[in-house]
Structures are given as C-alpha cells and as structure tokens.
Chains A and B, each alone.
Chain A
C-alpha cells in the first residue's frame, strides 16, 4: 500500500475528522464575531480592542488560526491531488504539485505567525 505522504493527518480518516473538527471551530468563531458585531450599536476601537485583549478571545482566535491552517491544508491537498495529476498535466504533475504544496505551506505558516503576532502584539 502506498501511503499519502503529503496529506495532513497521513490517513484519510484523520483528515476527515480534522476537517470536521476545524470546520466546527471556524463556524463557531465566525458566528461569534458576527453576533458580536451585530450586537454592538457603535463599534469603537475601545470596544473592539477590549474584546481581543481578553484571554478567552485570544485562545479562541488562536484555535481558529490553527484550524484555518489544518483545514486549508487538507482542502487544498484535495484540490491539488484532483487537478495536478498525471492524467491532466502529464509526467511533470507530481513535481508541480509538490512545488505548489510547498508554496501553500509557506503561506499557511505565514498566516499563522502573522496571526499570532497580531493577537499578542498589541
């Protein structure tokens, strides 16, 4: 058996579960932010920065950031292994896919570090 070495959890079952757990975290985060904005009559810097200054919001935001990283990797892996294939792209497909995955991995790490800097940098 050939194992999928570039998938996130190294097995389809792990990826399946991680994709769903991260999806629930991201949906909860999105709905929370939306509810907070809709329930704030006038959004000011004081109200907004007070929210993100709390420990629970930093933990929730960090969870969301890590969920984005895992969720995006699994999703983009599925896209790339569908389209950058030998059937569609010829013999160079595997090299192209690995290069694309390295670039996407770099962007993902950048997002994560950038997000942490934002959360703890103010």
Chain B
C-alpha cells in the first residue's frame, strides 16, 4: 500500500448524513450514561437506605440543578436505548438498506425526542 496516498479522515470537513448523526449521538449518549450510572446508583442508594432518606431524596429532586442532572441522565438513557433497539432491528434484517437506515434514523430521533420531552414534563 502506498503510504502517501491521499486520505480524508478529517470528519469536520464531511457533512454528517442523518445515519451518522444518529450513530455519533448513540456513542456520545453511551459515554454520558457511563457517568450517569453513578447518578442512578446514588439515587437508588438513597431511595432504599431508610424512609427518611427516601423522603430527603424526594426533596433533593425538587432542586432545579438536581432535576436537570436527572433529566440529562434519563435523556441519555432514553436515546441510547431507542438507538440500540434500532440496531437490534437492523441485526434481524429490518432497515438495513440505505433508505431503510435513513428512515430508521428518523424514527429513532422522533421516538427519542418524544420520550425525552415526556421525561422533562414528568420531572418538572
């Protein structure tokens, strides 16, 4: 292989198609979610420790900053799950074509948006 052949892997010069956009968001939400596990474990610990701590957690979750952190974590979870389910559909052969992939990406974005909006309504 010639070492001096031209390559263009500078993704900032490439416009992302919707499938790539959905894919990179899936990855980013996964990384966010790894930190989010700490938030969820912290909440679970407080919710189960005692009745006082359970009620204290409810009070803590009235704080706007805590609400935002919880919403961001659950939004990452919702998006990651929807995009992951799209992957499982593609594994069984649904939506594997170029057009199918683009439609699947649109559906995933739409469904994730609805869930994330609903989570916002539920938290606030």
The answer to whether B81 and A45 have CB atoms under 8 Å apart is no
Closest-by-CB residue of A relative to B91 is A20
Interface residues of A, count at CB 8 A: 24
CB-CB under 8 A from B50, the residues of chain A are 45
The answer to whether A115 and B41 have CB atoms under 8 Å apart is yes
- Alpha-carbon distance A72/B49, docked complex (angstroms): 27
User: Which residues of A (2-43) have their CB < 8 Å from a CB of B?
Assistant: 20, 23-24, 26-27, 30
The 8 A-B residue pairs with the shortest CB-CB distance in the complex, in nearest-first order? A45-B54, A45-B51, A122-B48, A118-B45, A75-B30, A23-B84, A72-B34, A111-B37
Q: Supply 16 further A-B pairs (C-beta < 8 A) apart from A76-B30, A111-B37.
A: A20-B88, A23-B84, A23-B87, A24-B88, A27-B81, A27-B84, A30-B81, A48-B54, A72-B37, A76-B31, A79-B30, A114-B41, A115-B41, A115-B44, A118-B44, A122-B48
- Alpha-carbon distance A52/B48, docked complex (angstroms): 8
Chain A interface mostly helix, strand, loop or mixed?
A: helix
CB-CB under 8 A from A79, the residues of chain B are 27, 30-31
B103 within 8 Å of A by Cβ? Answer: no
CB-CB under 8 A from B77, the residues of chain A are 30
CB-CB under 8 A from B16, the residues of chain A are none
The contact string, 1 if C-beta is below 8 Å from chain B, for chain A 68-92, is 1000100110010000000000000
B38 within 8 Å of A by Cβ? Answer: yes
A54 within 8 Å of B by Cβ? Answer: no
The answer to whether B41 and A111 have CB atoms under 8 Å apart is yes
B94 within 8 Å of A by Cβ? Answer: no
Nearest-Cβ distance from residue B70 to partner chain A, whole angstroms: 13
User: Which residues of A (96-116) have their CB < 8 Å from a CB of B?
Assistant: 104, 107, 111, 114-115
